[in-house]
Structure 1
Amino acid sequence: MADFKDFNFKLVVVEQLMYTDERLTPRFHLADLLREKGLGDDPWDYAYRHGLAYKVVPEARSHFESLEIGDELLATVEELVMDGGNEVYTECSPIWDGEDDLYDIASLDDLELLPNLRRVVGSEFLGAELQDTLRARGIIAD
């Protein structure tokens, strides 16, 4: 199983595999997890009541940090999309507007986990140095 170094990079991979390709199952919904734990069924209300606006809900972080993704599945990833509207961000932070650095990727050390990655859409959110890292690996950064 892969060991991700950058949580935010892992979330972009989860977005692709779970919410776009639907290969990583079961699909995570914060509302379901909150219900199961007896914490309510409205993620927005839960985040608001617990001072978690513009933060990652700890239950979601815990879920995604412990989520195991096999090498075979990671090898299917050819494209990643970096966009503040990614569903995984809504599931992690019900109250978040994409206007801060909460989900900025700090490192591309995890690229080695994606041997077939060919393109990163929205790479302008990475900054010039990380974009150069992608291009140096032959990955289209647009």
Structure 2
Amino acid sequence: MGILDKLFGNKIDNQKSIEIDFTKNGIIINGQGIQLPVKTSILNDIFGEPEQVKNETNLIFIWQDKGIRGFTKDGQNVFEIDIQLMNINQTQFFPQLAFSGILKIEGTAYKDFIKITQNDYIFKEYKIGNLQLQVTLTKEEPKSIRSISADQPEVEDLINEYANIQKSSASTIEFTDFNFKLAIIQELMYNKELLRPKFDIYEFAKIKKIEGFIEVNGGYEPIAEVVDYFKALEIDKNLAEQVTEIYQDGGNEIYMNVTPQWDEEDDIFNIQSFEDIKHFPNLKKMTLFETNSEIFEELKSKGIDANPL
């Protein structure tokens, strides 16, 4: 008996004996844990030899009688597992039979975990630990769950996402005041979700291995790596017209990401220069940390309804 047989037992011949649980600690298959990406040899040892089909971007492993697919780019590592819960007979890229084993999410039957409402489109997404789950629903009403797929973005992918810092093909805004830029980022990245990726300090700190950063105890001062990131972030001039209001508040996501434990008792994020207003023709309203009445009068003379927080 090989080592994989000792770990997983014999290959599963009866799909009804398969139990899969998507958990925050990984995927549990019949009591054994795996992490994505997973070696194809491990899945083959569990499910048997799959049929292989190539599409434009990936090689697909299809376990026809088990309702399971695995996606791989190199043929050696499966980065996504897809559980088909309904028969789809019209294409070679799907299993012949639907999955009829036991499927759970965090120990709960998937049908109880996933709540379908009338407002749902044909996709729902969940994040379970490091797993990204995509639930595909039928178009017909009442909607049913057609499939559930799981993947786990590799750290390298996340590093690349942050490293790219959204380079623009068009001209970008040159800011005079960094705190003004942070207020604009709050509006475009977190309020309107027009800047990607949406920055998350805890994810960023883990990826960048920021020394001394601790979620609970760290971040009382601006984190240098985060400041550098936002200074380098380019904002396309085409987005300027989307900004109609700036609202500075101590609970804004931008400040909680730059200085996670900020107590709002200093003026570290006060805007020092309002010269950058010239870039934003539709900016008509500002709520600011500032308390200097002369500044508010000057802003109002420029046609901006400006008030202190």
Tell me the TM-score normalized by structure 2: 0.41
Identify which of 276, 279, 291 aligns with 1:110.
276
Alpha-carbon contact 1:2-1:113 (below 8 Å) kept: yes
Aligned to 2:197: 26
Q: How many residues align?
A: 135
SS at match of 1:33: helix
Query: C-alpha distance in 2, partners of 1:71/1:135?
Result: 24
CA 1:29–1:74 in 2, change beyond 3 Å: closer, same or farther? same
CA 1:43–1:16 in 2, change beyond 3 Å: closer, same or farther? farther
Alpha-carbon contact 1:123-1:131 (below 8 Å) kept: no
Alpha-carbon contact 1:60-1:92 (below 8 Å) kept: yes
Query: C-alpha distance in 2, partners of 1:80/1:126?
Result: 16
Write out aligned runs for 1:36-55 (5 A).
36-39=207-210, 43-45=214-216, 48=218, 52-53=219-220, 55=221
Question: Relative contact order (alpha carbons < 8 A, sep ≥ 6): 1 or 2 greater?
Answer: 1
Query: C-alpha distance in 2, partners of 1:11/1:88?
Result: 7
1:130 aligned onto 2:295: yes
CA apart distance, 1:78:
0.4
SS at match of 2:296: helix
Query: C-alpha distance in 1, partners of 2:183/2:291?
Result: 12
Alpha-carbon contact 1:6-1:110 (below 8 Å) kept: yes
Aligned to 2:247: 81
Query: C-alpha distance in 1, partners of 2:274/2:253?
Result: 21
CA 1:124–1:131 in 2, change beyond 3 Å: closer, same or farther? farther
Aligned to 1:15: 186
Gaps in structure 1 of 5+ consecutive residues: none
Tell me how large the CA RMSD over aligned residues is: 1.8
- Which residue identity lines up with residue 12 of structure 1 in the other structure? A
Structure showing the higher strand proportion among its residues: 2
CA 1:124–1:56 in 2, change beyond 3 Å: closer, same or farther? closer
Q: Quote the sequence identity (%).
A: 34
Tell me the TM-score normalized by structure 1: 0.86
CA 1:124–1:89 in 2, change beyond 3 Å: closer, same or farther? closer
Query: C-alpha distance in 2, partners of 1:32/1:6?
Result: 27
Gaps in structure 2 of 5+ consecutive residues: 1-171
CA apart distance, 1:125:
2.2
Computing the radius of gyration over CA atoms, which structure comes out larger, 1 or 2?
Answer: 2
Alpha-carbon contact 2:202-2:215 (below 8 Å) kept: no
- Which residue identity lines up with residue 63 of structure 1 in the other structure? Y
Deviation readout 1:25-44 (Å, 9 max, x if unpaired) = 1101111211112337x653
Deviation readout 1:25-69 (Å, 9 max, x if unpaired) = 1101111211112337x6535x63xxx52x210011011000000
